[in-house]
Amino acid sequence: MYTPQSQQLAYAPTPYSYTPTSNLSLTINPDEEVTLSTNSTERDLYESLAEIYSIVITLDALERAYLKDSIPEAEYTETCNRLLKQYKSNLADENVSRVFRDLESFKMEWNMEVPRATERLKLGLPATVESPSARPAAQNQGSAAAATHIVAASENFITMFDAIKMNMLSKDTLHPILVETIQAVNKVTDTDFDSKGKIVQWLITLNQMRAAEDLTPEQARELQFDMNQAYDGFKSTLG
């Protein structure tokens, strides 16, 4: 007959058979700084992403202030240009750009509601350049100065046509020309002439591309067509 023994079997664990030693215990110091990075490359990456987040939030607030007339146009333009340059500068780093992916993904990941900053970043230009509220400079100056602005605007259109014909279709070639074109046009007239909006739409398209990325042949033909129409519309405002 089996009689239970009071002696515990050697392999059976006791309630307190394991007591962690001090060298195995996890010690947490609440005053110790938590590090997200283990090397300088990771640290630079996190700092750049944090700066992009700050830029987007600040830009959205700036756009709201401008819409409410809470900031002078000159100050708005200067600040907006600086934020846009900082945004592009951070994303020029391939490692940052890879982790960032795109603005919509970044906004979703960090639960950001920034509609005004989103539109401004898509265009890549301050609202004062896109649709200036002030009277064009050519209308405030003499005929000689006005003629200079008209010539400058025409030259920018021609430079764009030449770039397309020479198959210079990269973003870093076309975007600066379009920026100069819309700025020159706005110095001549505030009229919303035929196809002026196409210039803005192409600015948005180019601004979403990588610096070395080229337009496709189909896009190049569309750009040529739209800019021809915009140039004709611009000339029609001159009388």
- CATH number for the domain spanning 82: value is 1.20.1440.200
**Is 114's pLDDT higher than 90?**
yes
Whether residue 231 is contained in a domain is answered as: yes
What local confidence, expressed as pLDDT, does residue 35 receive?
A: 58
Same domain assignment for residues 143 and 110: no
Contact 55, 109 (CB under 8 A): no
Whether residue 178 is contained in a domain is answered as: yes
Whether residue 6 is contained in a domain is answered as: no
Phi, psi (deg, nearest 5) at residue 209: -90, 160
Task: Using the structure block, give the residue that is written with the tokens 């938590």.
Answer: 34
Output the DSSP codes for 132-183: --SPPHHHHS-HHHHHHHHHHHHHHHHHHHHHHHTT--BHHHHHHHHHHHHH
Whether residue 5 is contained in a domain is answered as: no
Same domain assignment for residues 211 and 173: yes
Same domain assignment for residues 55 and 141: no
What local confidence, expressed as pLDDT, does residue 58 receive?
A: 97
**Is 109's pLDDT higher than 90?**
yes
Domain with 74, as residue range(s), is: 41-120
**Is 178's pLDDT higher than 60?**
yes
What local confidence, expressed as pLDDT, does residue 10 receive?
A: 44
Domain C-terminal end among 54, 85, 120? 120
Whether residue 26 is contained in a domain is answered as: no
CATH number at residue 215: 1.20.120.1130
Whether residue 57 is contained in a domain is answered as: yes
Same domain assignment for residues 165 and 208: yes
What local confidence, expressed as pLDDT, does residue 16 receive?
A: 43
Query: Would you say the C-alpha torsion 116, 134, 229, 194 has a positive or negative sign?
Result: positive
d(CA 124, CA 224): 21
Same domain assignment for residues 192 and 153: yes
Phi, psi (deg, nearest 5) at residue 184: -65, -40
pLDDT level of residue 37 (50, 70, 90 thresholds): low
Domain C-terminal end among 60, 91, 120? 120
d(CA 52, CA 89): 10
Q: Token pair of 230, please?
A: 């915009």
Same domain assignment for residues 157 and 218: yes
pLDDT level of residue 12 (50, 70, 90 thresholds): very low
pLDDT level of residue 137 (50, 70, 90 thresholds): low
Domain C-terminal end among 120, 147, 170? 120
Whether residue 125 is contained in a domain is answered as: no
pLDDT level of residue 17 (50, 70, 90 thresholds): very low
d(CA 138, CA 146): 4
Same domain assignment for residues 113 and 155: no
What percent of the chain is predicted at pLDDT more than 90?
64
Same domain assignment for residues 141 and 102: no
Domain count, the chain: 2
Q: At what angle do helices 196-207 and 171-188 cross, to 10 degrees?
A: 150
Same domain assignment for residues 103 and 145: no
Whether residue 102 is contained in a domain is answered as: yes
Same domain assignment for residues 161 and 231: yes
pLDDT level of residue 133 (50, 70, 90 thresholds): low
pLDDT level of residue 217 (50, 70, 90 thresholds): very high
Same domain assignment for residues 178 and 202: yes
Same domain assignment for residues 146 and 207: yes
